Chain A
C-alpha cells in the first residue's frame, strides 16, 4: 500500500515570494491534515479536511496561508507572501476510510522542508 506522498521535498524561496506544497493521501483516506513543524518543536496542526470540507482551520494564518482539497483526494497548501518565520517542515497526514468516521491513527508523509531567506 502506497503511503502519503508529498512534493516537493525541499524548497528555498525569498521572503515575500509565494510557494505551494502538494499532498496525496493514502488511497481511500477521508481525513487529511497539514502540520507545520518548526525546528526543535513538535508538529502543529494547521488545517484538517474531512473529504473536501474543512473541519478545523483555527490555527491557519489565513492572511497568508490557504489550503484546498477540491475533489476530496489530494490537497494543496499555499503561502503567499512568505515570511522568514515560515521556515519549517510542512507535514501532510491522512487517516480514516471514506464514508467512515475518522480514526485516531494518522499516517504521515515525508514532509516538505521550506527555507525562507
Chain B
C-alpha cells in the first residue's frame, strides 16, 4: 500500500538557517504530494502541494519539488523564522474510485530559536 517516510525530528535550527525536511513516498500510481503544517494547538494547514512530476509547490518561502525518479518531495526554506516552529507533515493522495484519501508521514517537529 501507499506510504510516506519523512525524516525524524525534532529539528532545532537557529533563526535564518536553511531548512530541509526529507520526504520519500511509495505509491502504486501517480499521487499528488502535499506538505501540511500544524502549529501548536491548531489543526493541519495546507502549506503547499504538487500534482505531477517536476512540479514545484511553494508558499510562504517554503518550496518542494515532486521528484518521480527518486520518489521524493523534500521541503526546503532558505531562511527560517521563529514563527516557522511547528510540526510538518508530508502526505500523498492517490485517487481511487473518486476518493482522494491522504496518507501521512509521522511528522517532523521544527523548533527555531532566536
- A residues with CB within 8 A of B: 4, 6, 31, 33, 40-45, 48, 50, 55-56, 91, 93, 95, 101-111
Contacts and interface: CB of A to CB of B under 8 A. Distances in A.
A56 B89 CA distance: 23
A104 B102 CA distance: 8
Question: Top 8 A-B pairs ranked by shortest CB distance?
Answer: A42-B104, A108-B44, A108-B43, A110-B43, A104-B100, A104-B32, A104-B93, A111-B43
Contacts of A33: 101-102
A43 B99 contact: no
A104 B95 contact: yes
A84 B49 CA distance: 35
Given A42-B104, A106-B46, 11 more contacts: A6-B43, A33-B101, A40-B106, A41-B106, A42-B91, A42-B106, A55-B99, A102-B95, A104-B93, A104-B100, A110-B41
